Structure formats: structure tokens, C-alpha cells
Amino acid sequence: MLTIEQITTRYNEKFTIYESLKHEVESLIKKLLVIDKIIYQNIASRVKTLNSVQIKFREKHYNEFTQLTDFLGIRIITYTLSDVEKVCKTIESNFNVIEIIRFKDRLESSAKVGYLSIHLICKFSDERIRLTEYSQYNNMVFEIQIRTILQHAWAEIEHDKYKFEGDFPPDIKRRFDVLSATLELVDYEFDTISKLKEEYTADIYSKTQKRDLHIPINTISIAEYLRDKLKDIPEIHPNFGRLEDRSADLIAELSRFGIQYINQLDALIEEKYIRDLKKLVQNDYVNYVAFLRYILMIIDGKKYFSEGLTKDVTFISKSAVKFVTKFGVDSKLINSKLNVVEDML
């Protein structure tokens, strides 16, 4: 077994290059997840402290640094279980994965639940090592941990804050087991909801492509419809608010006009509006909410300002005023209800 002095010497020899490796691995993973369109909550990395390394050598009876596979650790936190598997596939496709440790599999034979995590022991792939900027990291091993945000929260509570480890009185242990099982169930339910949302979104997309538009209006259906309807206007911002989602307000406004299905809305959006919208977005910030509010103003300005307007609408840009007045909205009515401001592009 190595002495404390030997461990310290080797630690100091390796620390700098592992710090460099840490930045390279984290940066590469972030790029790969963007390419694969995987949304993640956080990515963090660390090189073990000298004290942690000394403890690990003592507890594991290591003789060489090559046995320490988590000298560098990268943690990827996702939102759902499905994303954990997607991240795993991305890592396996782009790194040389030496070993995969699934803690869930380790726990299946016991009653313990809660801490579910995947650890991959990795190196850079041979193809990447042949690149000049990566050649210095040849045969350097690191560990990538992948878990959901709920799994991470549980691990933080169990291991770091409250130290729920070891043997406890029956009542505490029972409550602890119930809580951990509940969190695991919640994780699965979040994953199920996410999958159902993806399936529903795909179904709406399919229907819009077929022009089968007898679809109840909700946040997903209206977003998919507008994404297709306005696909030739990339400048429009595909959201329902800059700071917070205003889709519920918008749907309420549409409902006041008796518009509850996508086909009803589609019948109101004439090609001439879309042609002028292409000009408007060159000068002004326009998102889905703004565009549909302009359509409602054009349909019936008096009704919109007396019945449809929500309290959060207080201003309109000069270019937007030109847009709606061209199609018959009374500018005096607009000025009496809203503050006219400079364009916001």
C-alpha cells in the first residue's frame, strides 16, 4: 500500500492535467448533448481533493492510482429517466466506456430504493485521442455519473445533509423507506408524463401535416399548429412570452371569441395577414401570443378591447399598430386602450 507521502506526491503530479481534462470532458459533453437535442438540468465536474484520495486509498486498500477510476468525476443531472438513457447512449457513442455500473441493478435484491444512478467509467475514444488537442489525455480514466434531478436530490439528502445511512429504529427506518419509495415513484410518473406529452405532440404534428385540424386548443396543440402555419417566418419567436408562459391567457382570450378548436382559428388567419407578418417581424419582436392577439384585434377590435383583453396587455409597438390598422382596426381605439411604444426588435 502506498504511504501518505507517496499518495501526496502522485496526487500533486496528476492534479494539473486532470484539471485540464475536467474542462475538456465537461465541454465536450455539453456540445454532444446539444447536438443530440437532450435537455439537461446541470453538468458539474470535480477532481477529488487530496484528503478524499487519501481516504479512498485507505478504505479500498489501493496500491496504484490506476485503481482510482473516479479521480475525475463528471455528474450529469437530467429531468427524466428517459433522458438518463438518452445521455447514456450519447456517452457510449462518443467515449470509450470501460464499465457501466447501474446502482438500480445493485439494489433490486433488497428493499432499499431511492438512490438510482448510472456510473460510467470512461476514457476518450481512440479516434479522439489521435487528435492533437486530446493526445495528452491518452489512457486517462474518469467517471461520469448520470441521474435525474429527483435522484440527485435524494442522494444529497441521504448522504450529505441528513446522513441517513446505517441502522435506525424501526419507525424511522419505515418512514425513510416509504419516503424513498415515493420519490422513486414520482420519478417514474414524471417520466410517464413526459412520454405522454411527447406522444401527444407527435400526434398533433401528424394531424397538422394532414390538415386534420378539428383539435381542441391547448398549449401544445396551438404551438404545433403555429409552428407549422408560420414555418416560412423564422424570425417569429416560437414562444408564449419572454419571461413567462402566457398561453393560458391567450387561450382564454380565444375562448371569449368562441374559438375553441384549431380549425376555427385556422379559418381566421388569412394569407394576407401572414404576408404582412413577414414584414412586421423585420422591425419588431413578435411571438405567438402577440400575433394571435393582433388577429383577434383585426377580427373585432371593439370586442377584443371590451371582452378579450387581459390585464397584462398595456402596450403595443408602432409597427404593430400599422399592421392591425391596415386591416381595419381603429387607431383611436388602440390609443385609448394601450400605450404605443417604439418597436422592440
Residue ranges of the chain with per-residue pLDDT less than 50: 105-111, 113
Reduced to 3 states, what is the DSSP secondary structure of residue 41? strand
Contact 97, 120 (CB under 8 A): yes
As a whole number of angstroms, the distance between CA 336 and CA 316 comes to 12
What are the extents of the domains in the chain?
Answer: 4-186, 231-341
As a whole number of angstroms, the distance between CA 74 and CA 117 comes to 13
Does this model's pTM top 0.85? My answer is no
The C-alpha cell at 259 is 374559438
As a whole number of angstroms, the distance between CA 128 and CA 124 comes to 6
The C-alpha cell at 265 is 382559428
As a whole number of angstroms, the distance between CA 335 and CA 324 comes to 13
Q: Of 3.40.350.10, 3.30.460.10, 3.30.160.100, 3.30.70.1150, which CATH number belongs to 4-186?
A: 3.30.460.10
CA distances, 155 to each of 115, 151, 343 (Å): 6, 6, 49
Predicted local confidence at residue 108, as pLDDT: 46
Reduced to 3 states, what is the DSSP secondary structure of residue 122? strand
Predicted local confidence at residue 109, as pLDDT: 41
For residue 109, the 8-state DSSP code is: T
As a whole number of angstroms, the distance between CA 145 and CA 24 comes to 16
For residue 312, the 8-state DSSP code is: T
Q: Which amino acid is at 137?
A: Y
The C-alpha cell at 96 is 470509450
